[in-house]
Amino acid sequence: MEIREAIAERRSTRAFTEREVTREELYEILRAGIMAPSACNMQSWHFYVVAGEERGKLRGVCADWVAEAPLTIIVCTDRSAIEARFGERAKKFAVQDTALAMENMLLAATGLGLGGCVIGAYDQDACAVSFGIPEHHHVVALLPIGEPREKIPPRERKPLEDVVTFVGGQKNF
């Protein structure tokens, strides 16, 4: 699948079939994540893959439907190295790094015929305790991944003129 097609086809998938994600598919998705750009190439992320019976621990951490996905990637920042270099600004950089990694992973999943969704509504403390996430790994989001139960139609997008302001430059834009 071409990148433009993957961007156009990507949807926020919240309902999955029971088909398991293969090891090869998972590794392709994870590799896409680590190929994302990051501040000073510090790659300030860490991923926890939750699958099998461990998925049940997601109930009570976030919306129950997330536990129905074949697997969920807990996306964390590992800010220790980047904070040593940039101090407080590192928090922003690390979250930006993980956001780029998540989009890469979602596009890779789309290219494989899979889907996913960024989940920002979760209990951070319960997540860390349930999955043994150490203090230096800060949970940013959850990514349930699997085969979509149905084809999701595209949602309307705002037109460019509503969301873009050109400052300087050519008048031809």
Structure tokens that stand for 79 in this block: 């800010």
Whether 82 shows a pLDDT value over 80: the answer reads yes
- Domain that includes residue 110, residue range: 3-163
Cα–Cα distance for residue pair 43/79, rounded to 1 Å:
9
- Does residue 172 lie in a domain region? no
> Is 169 part of any domain?
no
Number of domains in the chain: 1
- 3-class secondary structure, 86: helix
**pLDDT band at residue 73 using 50, 70 and 90 as cut-offs:** very high
Distance CA 164, CA 112 (A): 32
pLDDT-derived band at 166 (thresholds 50, 70, 90) equals confident
Q: What is the CATH number of the domain that holds 33?
A: 3.40.109.10
Question: Is there a domain that residue 168 lies in?
Answer: no
Phi, psi of 85 (to 5 degrees): -90, -40
Sorting pLDDT into bands at 50, 70 and 90, what band is 115?
A: very high
Q: Is residue 60 part of a domain?
A: yes
More confident residue, 166 or 23: 23
